[in-house]
Chains A and B, each alone.
Chain A
């Protein structure tokens, strides 16, 4: 028997709760069979979930590390593994391994800074972990602004948590927007990049972006026009991954592996990499 430790061999996770967040996004709560959290993680890190016979895929951990009881994953239905997961019921076992990747610098660069989170669609999933972490250690950070946009009101992820918890916290400003006008929505309507420009943030903030590539591109331009430096903006990338530990060779952008050296990158770091993500 080969008894060397092996990161590619997962442990069992049990889905203890499934929440339908939006028409195509569900949030899954996962613990080990004995009811514990499978492993500790840092905000922004990812885990490999798999269903034997279906496949394995990388997901960002949406719950905050400060939650010591379970992990949550907000997963959009878009491929084989995710479609299968969306049909899973409570009690279903899956496999889980991780944590992978580098976290957001919540305990160094972020400390003492005003934070601006900008997310689009399911891009809120990785940021929720950071936002809740920062809320937990509220005194370590300055003001927190959250700009979040989606196609429609129904497509806003974690809507209740945003409205009932985040928006009611002191020092946290939540700015929601949806793409098109719709009934019973009296908030802002318009795309995230434009909204960010309209809001016209001060540059005394560290920005964290996550969302579809096109949103990132234009939001980045918007923030730059507001005077933000690339060194004060972060994002998290996603590419196809198989091993999660920088060996299978497919998630590289230039010489950096997203699974090992990312997924969190500062924009000035991304500038040094070839445009292939």
Chain B
């Protein structure tokens, strides 16, 4: 474990930024935290978390995949992929660190997604333990320890200091370059205990997952509650786009006039055209689309991934849904623990 004073944080940022682009949460003019490229003058936000999740760094909302040139009947395919630059994402919370595991299990399994893998190999994650969790947080439900977030390097923040500990070789290498002073873990343990106490007081602390999991398809699929839960769903994509673990994408072509760029962009299972094809649509109503999103996170994903839930409990959808319908309400209604 290493220690640095909170006052010297900018010097540390500068050091990290020497070898790689550094991104960290910083407040925009609305006072919302957004991941911002660090340069002198960019201030690390005090907010709990960013509005958009850091999945953008590895799986951006829009990314060009390949280009085509057509001439007469002929087509030329151009591989426009480029090697990503090295970058460091600082200030990732425990829930978002888990989200990378969840995304890895989709994108890195065979056949590996080279776009995602490329960024993943070049990105170092520095997580920061939570000290002031919000009422919308429920990471504990998914056995995530907000006081010990993981990633390549973990940072704990106390009143006046930061404590650093590396979890991976990449993290150790980066940390060794920062020349921090070694220290014990007493202060960190104290901070952990404080946060732990608050985590237990949170309104969603006791949300439980017993009613969900890979084997619960039959028990949940035809439940009548889906209809009432989804009755006022607007069918917008807010929950999916702020979600750190939503990974569905669409592949589209854009004709620039000179060439065709095939790009992929985030898609949302809440959209009416998500499964629409020439011969029909297997999810015609919003009830089915709504059910798909939550079944995917709470049943289908665990069924394919050793029981790990596809939700990290970050609470973004809880605070951002235009009609305040969210995975917590779904779990409470269907989970039978009321």
Q: Which residues of A contact B (CB under 8 A)?
A: 1-2, 4-12, 52-57, 78-80, 82, 89, 91-95, 238-240, 242-243, 245-252, 254-255, 272-274, 276-277
Contacts and interface: CB of A to CB of B under 8 A. Distances in A.
B249 A240 contact: no
A248 B75 contact: no
Contacts of A246: 106
Given A6-B114, A9-B65, A273-B217, A252 B73 contact: no
B283 interface: yes
Given A55-B253, A255-B299, A93 B83 contact: no
B77 A9 contact: yes
A2 B118 contact: yes
Contacts of A89: 73
Given A1-B81, A240-B276, A93 B300 contact: no
Interface in B65-102: 65-66, 68, 70, 73-75, 77, 79, 81-84
Interface stretch (B135-143, B171-179, B267-275): B267-275
B72 to A, nearest CB: 9
Contacts of A251: 275
B107 interface: yes
Given A248-B249, A254-B300, 7 more contacts: A8-B113, A56-B253, A240-B281, A249-B249, A251-B275, A255-B304, A277-B282
Contacts of B294: none
A97 to B, nearest CB: 10
B19 to A, nearest CB: 20
B241 to A, nearest CB: 14
Nearest to B253: A53
Interface residues of B, number: 56
A157 B247 CA distance: 39
Contacts of A273: 217
Contacts of B274: 240, 250
Q: Binding site of A, secondary structure by majority: helix, strand, loop or mixed?
A: loop
B78 to A, nearest CB: 10
A64 B81 CA distance: 34
Nearest to B277: A240
A247 B251 contact: no
A10 B77 contact: yes
A93 B74 contact: yes
B269 A250 contact: yes
Given A89-B73, A91-B73, A274 B221 contact: yes
Contacts of A10: 77
Nearest to A48: B251
Nearest to B65: A8
B9 interface: no
Interface string B190-216: 000000000000000000000000100
Nearest to A276: B282
15 contacts: A2-B83, A2-B114, A4-B81, A7-B111, A56-B253, A94-B75, A95-B68, A239-B277, A249-B249, A250-B274, A254-B299, A255-B300, A255-B301, A255-B304, A276-B288
A250 B75 contact: no
Given A8-B251, A249-B249, A52 B73 contact: no
A53 B249 contact: no
